[in-house]
Structure 1
């Protein structure tokens, strides 16, 4: 998760992410797309075979994808975790902390603005799926 962020606009060279139902019915799919109303815990028995989990964000106000990402990362998923859809630059830092490492926004994001937003704060206050140590723990060791 410490790798550079990836922004995708054309996934034609990849195996397409199949729906959750299609994934559960197949034994050879390695990419799956989760919709906001689908439970990420259904993927837990298959984490070792997954290369990509694409999580849909149909609207920036819908935060269920954050929970799905954190469930997968905390269960040990090491593959690519992509936020796709209505992804705004203001959300990237929070998505990153939940475990997303690639993004496929509907509207292009300026890479310089994304990097600036990620570098804005030196410390965090809460634990998350990433390895960042919360500031309270740094203070109280």
Structure 2
């Protein structure tokens, strides 16, 4: 993996991410890595001190990381939320809607293809973590 793709203006976290178990045993870290199946809610009391949470996608068809992202954003996490692992270009738009703003896929993805993917849809039909205004609200207030 090379440098992660980021959709943030702040500096990237410099500290390597520790496992959830390591963090819960010694909670001074500012970067944590959640593996598939780990409960993101365990981090909620510590969100203010975290700059980065990496969420691993071991296989592209494993959707548990989407739920973790929503839980963390809805709980108020404002740091970088990075999707790592088997992340495909087709998923990046949906991941952004769930609150991911950083990506570190196993295989590099052409930035031109990512940009086209993110601009594919003119309208959104439901509210999400990305703050896009749904089309029905634009039309009907």
TM over 0.5: yes
Alpha-carbon distance, 1:138 to partner: 1.2
Using the TM superposition, name which of 45-54 and 127-136 deviates more: 127-136
> Residue deviations 1:69-114, cap 9 Å, x none?
0111111100010000000000000000101011000000000000
Alpha-carbon distance, 1:126 to partner: 1.2
Matches within 5 A, 1:46-85: 46-85=46-85
C-alpha distance in 2 between matches for 1:85 and 1:136? 35
Using the TM superposition, name which of 129-138 and 49-58 deviates more: 129-138
Please name the residue that 1:90 is paired with: 90
Alpha-carbon distance, 1:66 to partner: 0.5
Stretches of structure 2 lacking an aligned partner (at least 5 in a row): 8-12
Please name the residue that 2:16 is paired with: 16
Instruction: Give the TM-score taking structure 1 as reference length.
Output: 0.90
Do residues 6 (structure 1) and 1 (structure 2) align? Answer: no
C-alpha distance in 2 between matches for 1:64 and 1:136? 28
Please name the residue that 2:126 is paired with: 126
* Cα RMSD (Å): 1.3
C-alpha distance in 1 between matches for 2:74 and 2:19? 22
Please name the residue that 2:138 is paired with: 138
Stretches of structure 1 lacking an aligned partner (at least 5 in a row): 8-12
Please name the residue that 1:100 is paired with: 100
1:127 aligns to what SS in structure 2? coil
Instruction: Give the TM-score taking structure 2 as reference length.
Output: 0.90
The alignment covers a number of residue pairs equal to 132
C-alpha distance in 1 between matches for 2:140 and 2:6? 35
2:126 aligns to what SS in structure 1? coil
Alpha-carbon distance, 1:14 to partner: 2.6
Using the TM superposition, name which of 85-94 and 25-34 deviates more: 25-34
